[in-house]
Structure 1
Amino acid sequence: MTFLRLREDIKCVFERDPAARHTLEIITCYPGVHALLLHRLSHRLWNLRLKWIARLLSNLGRFLTGIEIHPGAKIGRRFFIDHGMGVVIGETSEIGDDCTLYHGVTLGGTSWKKGKRHPTLGNNIIIGAGAKVLGPIHIDENARIGSNAVVVNNVSSGATIVGIPGRPIEQKEGDFEQESVLNPSGEFQPYAEVASLAGSRNNNTESIDQLTQEIAAKLDFLRERIEIIEAKTDKK
């Protein structure tokens, strides 16, 4: 079973990372694979109630890979963490099959109370770099979460979420938000620009231009007033 899982892990890396060249490279050079293998062992120890040893092993994995996966987290098959640095997966997180996480992703909790406090991911989920998925929420299958999004509410099946706070985008042709996270063939781009930030930048630019025009108009008004006052002074 373990060997079969390892073969699946290696195969899914080839499918999702065009930089992967051969099996030896994946086994020796991919921290996401290393973190997953260590998690499977620590998760077994956790379920055997050897929790201190499990935590020790998971901390060793964090030291070696830069990826923190709590041994209590439940992770499905063909799970891929690309690049990996800064990924955090909390204790009560549940991840389905065929999911992909990019670097800087957090599956975090929003409560100090024990019990379910981390996200549940369905099958075939992609979460872009730097995104934060927080609380005991459900991300349904085939959903996509854009880079740097902050998601605190449930996400429906097949939805694409962007922005802070995260919100679904409508799949309309020519829509800026859609174009920012989908390439011309309609594929999700995990490194795409966060649409809300880009839109915010455009709005800020317009606001600055408007303020500049208002300031220039007021300066012109002040110059006219000064000229009038100077003219009256000269007459006296």
Structure 2
Amino acid sequence: MPKKIVQNLLRAALMECCSPARVNKIATHAQYVAAARAAEHDLNCFAAKDPASRGSVEDIAFGYSSYKAVLHYRLAHAILDMASLDRDPDREIESVAILVSARGKLLSGAEIHPRCHIGQRFVLDHGWGTVIGETSRIGDDCYILGGVVLGAAGISANPSGKRHPTLGHRAEVGAFTRIFGDVVIGDDVFISPHCVITEDIPSDSIVTLKSALQLTRKKKSQRPATTLLDLF
């Protein structure tokens, strides 16, 4: 069942972004087959890890916009690999990849650059506002929540080389965390929400942002009770 669902979603994306002849050509390519397999593994992993889904791959595939972001990334990345392998002097295939990537962004609110590298069994949960830059590298079995940014250290005129973070295997990144620059996050690292990271984090680390909450009780009102005479 997951295999058929993924195939249907991938083909629907392709049909909106290129001609039927191009769809058939892409859908028989080895890179496409590998992308479909990876997207199926992503889906099964999401169902296994997210208790809210209650294990339903159908609910995730059709109802979770964050999964749509990952599925479109898999397809766009595979199409770029096809363009590189088959040589694409007119950039026709590459243009399809850009359209597929844009479609994923519009459907999900997450921006995953099609040239970044993401390992197997990737889960993006509540992904709205997440940005994963072009030269980012993410290992296997990683779990990222919404609003996470894997970005460059600068704003404009960034270098064209490696400028985005690398995440090791089994990294977990909490919501609204920002990781900037060519930093390396090791294997099995847990990063709590709202952290801003600009330096390497060794494997088997837990990163937290300490904050203090202040609780002040309201004082009871000292106003005298209102009587009927006060109303006239």
Is the Cα–Cα contact under 8 Å of residues 35 and 78 in structure 2 kept in the other structure? no
Given that 2:35 and 2:75 are in contact with CA atoms closer than 8 Å, whether structure 1 keeps it comes out as no
> Which protein has greater RCO, CA pairs closer than 8 Å, 6+ apart?
2
Identity %: 37
CA contact (8 A) 2:35 2:74 kept: no
Task: Determine helix, strand or coil for the equivalent of 1:38.
Answer: helix
Q: Name which of 23, 26, 40 aligns with 2:74.
A: 40
- 1:3 and 1:70 map into 2 onto residues whose CA distance is 18
Gap regions ≥5 residues in structure 2:
1-33, 85-92, 216-232
Q: TM-score, normalised by structure 2?
A: 0.68
Shift of 1:113: 1.3
Equivalence for 1:10: 43
**Partners of 2:61 and 2:170 in 1: how far apart?**
23
Q: Which structure's CA Rg is the greater one?
A: 1
Query: 8 Å contact 1:143–1:157 — kept in the other structure?
Result: yes
Deviation at 1:33, TM superposition (A): 1.6
Change (3 A) 1:16 1:45: same
Alpha-carbon distance between aligned partners in 2 of 1:51 and 1:151, rounded to the nearest angstrom: 33
Q: Does 1:20 align with 2:60?
A: no
Say if 1:42 and 1:6 are closer, same or farther in 2 by CA, change over 3 A: closer
Partner amino acid, structure 2, of 1:39: Y
Distance 1:46 1:80 in 2: 22
Distance 1:156 1:87 in 2: 23
Partners in 2 of 1:63 and 1:135 — Cα distance? Answer: 26
Distance in 1 (alpha carbons) for counterparts of 2:191 and 2:153: 19
Q: Structure 1-normalised TM-score?
A: 0.67
For residue 158 of structure 1, what is the aligned residue in structure 2?
Answer: 204
Q: Deviations over 1:84-128 (max 9, x none)?
A: 100000000000000000000000011411110000011000000
Q: Which runs of 5+ in 1 are unaligned?
A: 164-194, 206-236
Would you say how many aligned residue pairs link Structure 1 and Structure 2? Answer: 169
Q: 2:64 aligned to 11, 25, 30, which one?
A: 30
Q: CA RMSD in A?
A: 1.7
Q: In the TM superposition, what is the alpha-carbon distance from 1:45 to its structure 2 partner?
A: 2.2
2:93 is the alignment partner of 1:59: no
Runs of 4+ in structure 1 displaced over 6 angstroms? Answer: none
Distance 1:131 1:2 in 2: 28
